[in-house]
Structure formats: C-alpha cells, structure tokens
C-alpha cells in the first residue's frame, strides 16, 4: 500500500504505521535522497507534500547534520522545485517555500547575506515554462512565509536577534516590490490580497513605522475594495501596532525599481556593512516617526463616512475593521500624538472617532461586537495624560475631562440591559458574553475615577436622583440599573468613605422600585460594595438591611443577597447586635426552606459566624442553639440510617454548614485587622468558647456518624474539616477539645488510614505540641499515626500517595514545632527515614516535594537529636542515592530545586560523610544516568563539594545543569529557558 494510502486509510493501525514511518524517515540519513524522489511531478500531491515536509523538518531541526559544502546545492534544488510547483499544488508549494525560508534563516547572515534579494532576483529571471503571474505568486508565498518561519524557528536566542536585524534591513528589497504590485492598476485582486498578507508578515519583524509609510497608505486605498478589506485591515493594524514602530530611520529611496512581471531588472542589494545600507536600527530623526504618524491620522479620519454607512446598514465586519484601525493608532501612539500640541485637534478628532466606536448602536454581543475593542484605549489615553508633569497635565485635563464624562455616559448606556422581551431570546452564551462585557465596563469606570475623581460620583448621584424623583417622565429600570451599576463599579474598588454623596445614595436606594431581577441584583451588589462605608456610618444600616433580608428569600437573588449579607456581617459586626435576632431568624428560615444552593448556604453560615462573634457569650449560645438544633436532630436521624448515597450527601451538607459557621465564629477576634474596630471590641469572655461548647455537645454524635462512614473519604474529610477550621479560628481557645479529639483521630486512623486525619493531626501538632499541658495526647497521637503509616508502607504505599504526602508534611511539621517527638523511645526513626527515601521515588510530584521538605527539616537535626544523627550517618548514602536517581532522570525536572535543597543540607550538616558517599555512588557504571561520562560525574561531585556548596543558589544551578546532562538535554533549544 502506498504511503499516502496508508496515511489516509481509516484503519488506525495503518495510519499509525504511516506516521511512524514518516518520523523515522525524516531523521534518517537517506531522507535527503528520497525526499526529492517524493517530489517528482508524477507523484500525487499527498506524497509530494510529505517529501516537502520531510525536507523542512530535516533543515529546521537537523541543520547541524548538513555539511557546509552542500548548502549551495540544497539552495539550488529548492529554488528549482519551487519554480516547478509555482503552477502546481498550492500546499506543496507552500511547504517548499517554508523549507527554503528555514534554509535562509539558518544561513543568514554569514553564509547567505543577500538571501532576500536573491529570492526576488531568482523569480524575476525569465523562464519560458512558468508564466509571470505564477512566478509572482510563488515569490509572494516565499516572502510571506519567511518572516512567519522566523517567528516559529528554533534558532538560539543570540542568533534570533541577529537574524531579525538582518531580515528587517532587507525590507528595502521587498517593500518597493509590494508597493508596485499594490498600486499597479492591472494587478488582479488575488495578487493584491497576497501582497497585503506578505506586508502583514514582514511588519511583525518590528519594522519602523516610517519604513512602512507608503505601503500603509496603499493598504488604506485597498480598504475601499470589499474583497481586500479584511486583509487590508490586518495589514494596517499589524503595521501600526508593532512595539518597535516608534523607532525611526531617515527616509530613503530604493536604489532599484523592481519589475517582477518584466524579467531581469533586480540585482542583489548591498550586503550588511556595504555602502548605501540603511537598517532599521539606524539613528534616524525622531521627527520622521512623528511625521509618518501625523500623516496616518487623515486617512483614518477619512474612514468615518464608511464607518457610519456600515453601522447604518448593519455591516458589522466593516465597522469592526475600521474600529480596529482607529484603536490601533490611538492605543499604540497616544503619548506621541498627545505630545504634538500643535496638532491637538487632529488627535481629538481621532479620540472622538473612537468614542463613536465605543457607543456604536446595538447591544453587545448580539447586535454589535465592536465597542469592546475600544476599552483598552481609554485606559492607555488616561495613563498617558496622567504621566505628564503637572502643568502639562492640567492643560490636557481641561481638554479631555469633558471627553471622559461623555465616555461615562456612553459606557453606562452600553451597559444597559435590553428589554425583558429581547433579553428572553438571548442564548445563555450571549448572556454570559454580555456579563463579561459589563465587567470590562465596570473596570473601565473604576479606572476613569482616577481622572474625574469625586465629581464622577456626584454626577452619577445627581442623575440617579433626578431619575428616581421625576414623576412626570418615569424611567425604565434599565436606566436606573445602569447608573447604580456605575456607582457600584467604583465603590467596589475605590475608597468612597469620604464621599459626600454616599449618604444620599443610601437614602435613595429604598426608593428604587425593584420589579426586575437584574435591577435587584445590582441593588444588592451596590449595598455590598458600600459595606465598609456602613461600618463607619452605622446609623444608616437600617436603611438597607431590610432590603437585603427580604432579598434572601428570593432564589433568583441568591448570590447577590447572600454575598452582600456576608460583607455586612463581616464589616459591620460590632454594630449588628440590635439586628442579630432578625438576621438569624430570616437566615434560619431560608436555610430550612432550602432556597439556596450549597455554596450560598455555606456563605450564609459564614455570615452568621461573623455576626455571632460580636455578641455576648450567652447570646451566642442561645442563637447557636436555635440555629443548629434542627441540623443536629437531622444528623441524629441520619446517623441511625443505613448508609446510602442520598443520606451521605445530607450528612456532608450538614457537616459543611457547621464547618463554615465555625470558620468565622471568633469571639477572640484573631482575624480582625480593621484599626477602626479596635475600640468596639468586646472584652474577651471568661469560660469555655461557645464553639467548643457546641463541639463537645455534638462530639458523640459525630463519632456515631463516623462509625458508620469511616470507610468513606468524603464523610471523614467533612468531619475533619469541622475540627480543622475550628482549630485554625480558635487557636488556643480550642485547648479543652485537644484530648478527646486526639483520641478520636487515633481511633479513626487506626481503623482506616486517611489523609484528612493526618492533616488534622498536623494542625494540632502545629498549634499545641509546644505546650507542656497538651504534649502527652499530641505525642500519643503522633506516635500512633506514625506506627500505622509505617505498617501501611510495609504493605505497599503506592496506592496511597495522598497519605504519604500528608505523612511527610506531618513529619516536617513535627521537626519544626517539636523536634522532641523524635526522641521518643518507641519512635522507629530508621523506619521513618526509610519511608522518606521510598517516598522520594514516587511518581507524584506533590508527594516527592513533601518528602524533600521532610529531609530538609530532618538533616539539620543531626547534631541535636541523637537518634536522627545515628540514622543519617548509617543510612545517608541511601538517601544520597535516591536524590541522585531523581536528578539523573527518575524525577520531574520541576522538582530539581527541592532535590538541591537536600544536597545543600547534606553538605552543611554531614559534609565529611557526603564526600565519601558521593564518590562511592558515582563510581557505579551508568549511575545516575548512562548519558553522563565519568568526567562529567567527577566534575559534578567536585562542584557539590567545593566552596560554593554554601551558596544555595549555586547548588541549585549545579543540579539543574547536571540533570540536563543526565537527560541528554543539555544545550538544546528545548531547555533554553530552564
């Protein structure tokens, strides 16, 4: 079966066979021979394509295999075949052009300094077998793929800069030709299309703007041709958007007028260093760039009529393209254009054109998709204005503040929802795009506040006030919602605590007639955005809190109402005791009715935790009792039932509610960071913490639930989460629970080991292990968990990477907080050490990282903890072997810094042993990799033991270098940024 038949055969095995054959063929020495055979004109295009692809891969990836004396032959053959295929298969022609482009890039500049000019000349030579049009297209294809191939080439970084510079200089051989073809009256449309694509490709080499001026002007003319419009837009936008476009060079004239369709005119231009060379890096007059820039404004402004007609006729493609051009000019060059004070009216006209694009009629994304393109421009313009010195800035502020006030009106109009009827027909994807668009508008408004300041808030407030008090002309809800959205956008991220309009806004909010979900959502989010202001003005809380509590009962307002209540309870908790009973009652009602989804129920519990934190202990206990009693009763009932999927979900839900409540219920106020609330704090209560009281009351019930669900990781995780979050929040206040929790954890872990139990043990070790009163139960739990886990290792730990990960983190935490735990006589330190070594060989990166963390904590204890020192001295060589195996290629390269940490610690704390161990280890044949020579291993060993061993950064560099050698990757482009 022929290769192309194999490849297109539906049989997967045949296709895979073809792919495998092709890959092997591309790297074989015979590839140069049969690639040309596959390109014979009697072959089908699929086979010819494979031949051309093989040549490209051979040239681009295995360039060093090609002898220098074959360069010219290879170049000549490629030119010949491109000429043959000029009238043949397009896909084969393109692939051959890519191959020649790759060849040129590899030979530039030394071996082929005039590559571009040679390409132009070769295709102008008269050839009776190929007509001029076909040669023209072939040349344009070659010139187009040359910069594209450069962008994706695997050239080393130093070569890339060198070749980019040479290519950019060679635009003198290309641009006059493109100009001529574009301006020639008889050039067919498809030629002009190809010319514009070629220009687009070249400008991405960061050609200075002034060098592109003539072609950009020609591209503007092409915008009038509907067939060329899209390609012309792309060309213009690419040309004026290049990051190096501002770099100038003196105007120059091409030395030759290239005539493609008439043979024999062009010759090689001066090569680098030759007379007459003008490169893009030359020191040109800055005014050249500015003059070019100023010449581009009239043709852009000249597109306004075409833009208006496109908008009126609903031609979204045309309006989109013209907008892209205007925005590209304004966004990339605003600073330079602002600097041209004498031309301020021209730039202002461009700004107004972009404003028209921002306010283009229709609803995004259904009726228009253009307005979103302009938002970044407004950021850029503002940044540039505010970057001027104060005097100049004041002048620009005078001109552009009215523009930005107009922008706010335009943006809020664009942010308005369509009519309810129209919105009902939108797809879910369109609604999501509109939501994201509104977020972008919100970000822009927040940014605009930096320019307009408090006057912006006053303007929004005045408009909203007029809207809500005008009884003669009732407004639509969309108008009200948009103004409120504007206010919310600013209040979410800007400190509005000193704004004199917020009290008025808080007073207006209850007057809003809320008959729509979108408006209600925005009202809620606006109240939430003002929660910090409410904390400073608690007298106003009662104006808005009833609205929030009312909204809690509406499932359509679930996210906005619950998140707003949570913000209020967090920021204003010391002012909420008068409202606490009502908040708890309403919350309890909606929780019982199951109005909200699980995540919102959890938020609501967090809100109640904040709220209860500010009450007296008696009040907290009273509210806790009424709040959680129904759940405790439900949990008791579930605990008696036979386990099944539905009651499992119910159990996890209840445990989650308790966890989230205890996460924020903090009467000791550990997490308070608002200085203003310090004076409001209540004195720390004497006696047990209310959370501890509740936990002690439900402890037996939780144990009962566990007894039936101990083999279910999710339920165990949910139980552990209650205590873990409580420990993190309460800290020392949790102390009364430590003994019974340690006992329960021990029973849990002994029965069925699970990672969540180890994680909770680690929390207890972290907070309580250093306190003498709590050390005995912590010690007993630590030893039990260690013993059970060691047994698990004996049985085979590979199925439990999560447990191994958590165990290694526990050991590291114990060494940090209470190293005395490793002095316990019944702790088998040697077995623990061996488990750590074994864990270093796990394929899971997090487990290996945790194991490295354990050893970097263990090794510094060699001197102070005798059992540790003895084990390390007796078994350190095994650890070093495991580390070197990882560095040698067994572990992911992303983990090399962690392995280096172990080597650094061995060096620092066991140097005399390490110098012996590393010598013995490196004497093994093929260790740690067959790819490294004895000399390379010796060099690495000496580096590790040298004076630089005390420099952790250098040790990491040594390890990275050595691991590349071990993997056969050293010096490859693949690892250039490693």
Which pLDDT tens digit goes with each residue over 868-881?
999 999 999 999 99
Residue 605: closest CA among 616, 596, 617: 596
pLDDT at 793 over 50: yes
Q: Three-state SS for 713? A: helix
- Cβ(120)–Cβ(174) under 8 Å? yes
- Cβ(404)–Cβ(452) under 8 Å? yes
**Alpha carbon distance 331, 748 (integer Å):** 62
**Alpha carbon distance 712, 708 (integer Å):** 9
What single DSSP character describes residue 474? P
- Cβ(817)–Cβ(810) under 8 Å? no
More confident residue, 40 or 7: 40
* Whether the bond into 859 is cis, omega within 30 of 0: no
pLDDT at 844 over 50: yes
Q: What is the mean pLDDT of residues 536-556?
A: 94
More confident residue, 551 or 63: 551
pLDDT recorded at residue 245: 54
Question: Any residues with CB less than 8 A from the CB of 802 and at least 6 apart, and which?
Answer: 755
Which pLDDT tens digit goes with each residue over 300-326?
999 999 999 999 999 999 999 999 999
pLDDT at 44 over 70: yes
Tokens for 34, please give them: 């049969």
Per-residue DSSP letters for 115-161? HHHHHHHHHHS--TTS-HHHHHHHHHHHHHHHHHHHHH----HHHHH
What single DSSP character describes residue 910? S
pLDDT at 432 over 50: yes
pLDDT at 864 over 60: yes
pLDDT recorded at residue 179: 92
* Whether the bond into 700 is cis, omega within 30 of 0: no
Place of tokens 């060699």: 862
Give the Å distances, CA to CA, from 346 to 29, 330, 352, 402. 63, 11, 10, 17
Other C-beta atoms closer than 10 Å to the C-beta of 384 total 17
Tokens for 862, please give them: 């060699």
Reported residue count of the chain is: 978
Place of tokens 């090609």: 66
pLDDT band at 681 (very low <50, low <70, confident <90, very high): very low
pLDDT at 272 over 90: no
pLDDT at 364 over 90: yes
Scored b (16 or more CB within 10 A) or e, 686-697 reads eebbbbbbbbee
**Alpha carbon distance 615, 285 (integer Å):** 72
Which pLDDT tens digit goes with each residue over 181-193?
988 888 889 999 9
- Cβ(361)–Cβ(430) under 8 Å? no
Tokens for 536, please give them: 């400073």
More confident residue, 282 or 387: 387
pLDDT band at 124 (very low <50, low <70, confident <90, very high): confident
pLDDT band at 273 (very low <50, low <70, confident <90, very high): very low
Question: Any residues with CB less than 8 A from the CB of 272 and at least 6 apart, and which?
Answer: 109, 113, 166, 169
More confident residue, 820 or 474: 820
Residue 434: closest CA among 518, 376, 524, 310: 518
Q: What angle do the packed helices 90-107 and 71-84 form, to 10 degrees? A: 160
More confident residue, 471 or 138: 138
pLDDT at 644 over 70: yes
pLDDT at 802 over 60: yes
Q: What is the mean pLDDT of residues 734-751?
A: 93
More confident residue, 141 or 971: 141
Which pLDDT tens digit goes with each residue over 261-271?
333 333 333 33
pTM above 0.75, yes or no: yes
Which has the minimum average pLDDT: 249-263, 540-554, 787-801, 902-916? 249-263
**Alpha carbon distance 509, 530 (integer Å):** 12
pLDDT band at 759 (very low <50, low <70, confident <90, very high): very high
Taking the CA atoms of residue 846, residue 848, residue 854 and residue 859 in that order, the dihedral angle to the nearest 10 degrees is: -150
**Alpha carbon distance 897, 956 (integer Å):** 6
pLDDT at 822 over 50: yes
CB-hemisphere CA count at 13 Å for 607?
A: 27
pLDDT recorded at residue 260: 36
**Alpha carbon distance 624, 622 (integer Å):** 6
More confident residue, 47 or 971: 47
pLDDT recorded at residue 6: 46
Tokens for 87, please give them: 């009238």
pLDDT band at 258 (very low <50, low <70, confident <90, very high): very low
- Cβ(511)–Cβ(468) under 8 Å? yes
pLDDT band at 27 (very low <50, low <70, confident <90, very high): low
pLDDT recorded at residue 968: 80
**Alpha carbon distance 241, 209 (integer Å):** 9
Other C-beta atoms closer than 10 Å to the C-beta of 816 total 13
pLDDT at 623 over 70: yes
pLDDT at 35 over 80: no
pLDDT at 345 over 90: yes
pLDDT at 222 over 80: yes
pLDDT recorded at residue 19: 55
pLDDT recorded at residue 687: 64
pLDDT recorded at residue 587: 96
pLDDT recorded at residue 20: 60
pLDDT at 32 over 90: no
Q: What is the mean pLDDT of residues 88-100?
A: 90
Scored b (16 or more CB within 10 A) or e, 161-186 reads eebbbbbbbbbbbbbbbbbbbbeeee
Place of tokens 């994706």: 152
Per-residue DSSP letters for 44-77? -HHHHHHHHHHHHHHHHH-GGGS-GGGHHHHHHH
pLDDT recorded at residue 248: 45
* Whether the bond into 365 is cis, omega within 30 of 0: yes
pLDDT band at 481 (very low <50, low <70, confident <90, very high): very high
pLDDT at 527 over 70: yes
pLDDT band at 674 (very low <50, low <70, confident <90, very high): very low
More confident residue, 472 or 829: 829
pLDDT recorded at residue 17: 56
Other C-beta atoms closer than 10 Å to the C-beta of 750 total 14
Which pLDDT tens digit goes with each residue over 888-918?
999 999 999 999 999 999 999 999 999 999 9
**Alpha carbon distance 367, 314 (integer Å):** 8
pLDDT at 703 over 50: yes
More confident residue, 210 or 277: 210
| Mean pLDDT across the chain | 87
């Amino acid at each position: 079966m022929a290769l192309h038949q194999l490849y297109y055969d539906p049989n997967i095995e045949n296709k895979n066979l073809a792919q495998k054959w092709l890959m092997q063929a591309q790297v074989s020495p015979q590839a140069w021979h049969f690639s040309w055979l596959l390109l014979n004109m009697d072959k089908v295009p699929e086979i010819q394509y494979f031949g051309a692809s093989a040549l490209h891969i051979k040239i681009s990836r295995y360039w060093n295999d090609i002898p220098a004396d074959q360069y010219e032959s290879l170049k000549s053959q490629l030119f010949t075949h491109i000429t043959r295929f000029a009238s043949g298969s397009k896909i084969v022609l393109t692939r051959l052009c890519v191959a020649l482009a790759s060849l040129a890039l590899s030979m530039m500049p030394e071996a082929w300094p005039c590559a571009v000019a040679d390409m132009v000349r070769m295709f102008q030579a008269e050839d009776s077998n190929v007509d001029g049009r076909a040669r023209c297209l072939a040349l344009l294809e070659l010139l187009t793929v040359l910069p594209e191939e450069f962008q994706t080439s695997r050239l080393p970084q130093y070569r890339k800069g060198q070749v980019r510079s040479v290519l950019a200089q060679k635009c003198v051989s290309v641009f006059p030709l493109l100009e001529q073809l574009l301006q020639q009256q008889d050039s067919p449309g498809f030629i002009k299309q190809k010319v514009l694509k070629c220009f687009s490709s070249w400008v991405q080499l960061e050609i200075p703007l002034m060098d592109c001026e003539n072609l950009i002007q020609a591209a503007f003319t092409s915008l009038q041709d509907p067939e060329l419009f899209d390609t012309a837009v792309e060309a213009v936008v690419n040309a004026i958007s290049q990051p190096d476009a501002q770099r100038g060079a003196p105007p120059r004239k091409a030395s030759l007028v290239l005539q493609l369709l008439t043979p024999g005119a062009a010759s090689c231009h001066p090569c680098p260093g030759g007379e007459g060379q003008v490169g893009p890096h030359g020191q040109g007059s800055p005014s050249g760039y500015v003059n070019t820039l100023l010449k581009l404004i009239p043709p852009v402004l000249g597109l306004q009529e075409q833009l208006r007609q496109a908008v009126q006729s609903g031609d979204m493609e045309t309006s989109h393209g013209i907008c892209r051009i205007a925005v590209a000019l304004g966004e990339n060059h605003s600073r330079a254009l602002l600097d041209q004070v004498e031309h301020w009216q021209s730039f202002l006209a461009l700004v107004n054109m972009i404003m028209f694009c921002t306010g283009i009629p229709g609803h995004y994304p259904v009726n228009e998709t253009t307005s979103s393109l302009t938002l970044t421009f407004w950021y850029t313009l503002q940044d540039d204005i505010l970057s001027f010195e104060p005097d100049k800035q004041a002048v620009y502020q005078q001109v552009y503040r009215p523009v930005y006030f107009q922008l706010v009106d335009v943006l809020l109009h664009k942010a308005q929802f369509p009519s309810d009827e129209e919105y009902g027909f939108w797809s879910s994807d369109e609604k999501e795009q509109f939501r994201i668009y509104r977020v972008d508008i919100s970000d822009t408004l927040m940014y605009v506040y930096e320019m307009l300041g408090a006057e912006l808030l006053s303007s929004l407030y005045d408009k909203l006030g007029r809207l809500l008090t005008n009884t003669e002309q009732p407004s639509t809800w969309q108008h009200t919602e948009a103004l409120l959205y504007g206010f919310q956008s600013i209040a979410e991220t800007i400190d509005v605590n000193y704004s004199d309009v917020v009290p008025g806004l808080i007073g207006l909010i209850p007057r809003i007639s809320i008959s729509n979900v979108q408006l209600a959502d925005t009202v809620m989010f606006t109240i939430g955005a003002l929660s910090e202001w409410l904390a400073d003005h608690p007298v106003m809380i009662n104006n808005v809190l009833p609205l929030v509590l009312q909204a809690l009962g509406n499932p359509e307002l679930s996210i906005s109402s619950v998140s707003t209540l949570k913000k209020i309870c967090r920021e204003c908790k010391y002012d909420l005791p008068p409202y606490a009973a009502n908040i708890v009652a309403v919350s309890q009602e909606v929780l019982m009715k199951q109005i909200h989804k699980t995540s919102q129920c959890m938020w609501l519990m967090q809100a109640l935790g904040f709220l209860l934190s500010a009450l007296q202990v008696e009040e907290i206990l009273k509210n806790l009792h009424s709040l959680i009693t129904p759940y405790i009763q439900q949990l008791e009932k579930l605990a008696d039932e036979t386990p099944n999927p539905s009651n499992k979900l119910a159990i996890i839900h209840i445990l989650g509610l308790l966890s989230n409540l205890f996460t924020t219920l903090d009467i000791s106020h550990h997490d308070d960071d608002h200085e203003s609330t310090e004076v409001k704090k209540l004195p720390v209560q004497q006696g047990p913490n209310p959370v501890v009281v509740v936990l002690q009351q439900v402890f037996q019930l939780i144990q009962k639930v566990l007894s039936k669900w101990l083999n279910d990781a999710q339920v165990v995780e949910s139980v552990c989460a209650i205590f873990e979050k409580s420990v993190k929040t309460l800290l020392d206040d949790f102390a009364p629970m430590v003994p019974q929790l340690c006992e329960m954890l021990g029973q849990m872990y002994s029965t069925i080991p699970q990672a969540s139990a180890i994680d909770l043990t680690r929390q207890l070790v972290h907070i309580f292990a250093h306190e003498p009163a709590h050390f005995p139960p912590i010690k007993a739990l630590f030893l039990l968990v260690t013993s059970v886990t060691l047994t698990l290792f004996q049985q085979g730990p590979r199925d439990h990477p999560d447990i191994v990960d958590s165990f290694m983190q526990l050991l590291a935490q114990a060494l940090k907080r209470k190293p005395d735990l490793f002095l316990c006589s019944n702790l088998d330190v040697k077995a623990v050490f061996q488990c750590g070594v074994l864990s270093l060989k796990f394929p899971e990166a997090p487990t290996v990282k945790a194991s490295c963390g354990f050893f970097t904590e263990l090794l510094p204890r060699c001197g102070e903890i005798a059992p540790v020192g003895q084990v390390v001295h007796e078994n350190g060589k095994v650890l070093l072997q495991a580390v070197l195996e990882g560095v040698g290629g067994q572990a992911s390269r992303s983990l090399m810094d962690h392995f280096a940490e172990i080597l650094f610690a061995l060096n620092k704390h066991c140097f005399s042993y390490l110098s012996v161990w590393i010598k013995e280890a490196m004497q093994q044949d093929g260790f740690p990799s067959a790819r490294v020579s004895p000399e390379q291993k010796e060099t690495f060993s000496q580096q590790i033991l040298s004076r630089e061993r005390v420099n952790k950064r250098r040790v990491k560099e040594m390890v990275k270098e050595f691991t590349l050698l071990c993997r056969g990757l050293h010096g490859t482009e693949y690892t250039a940024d490693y």
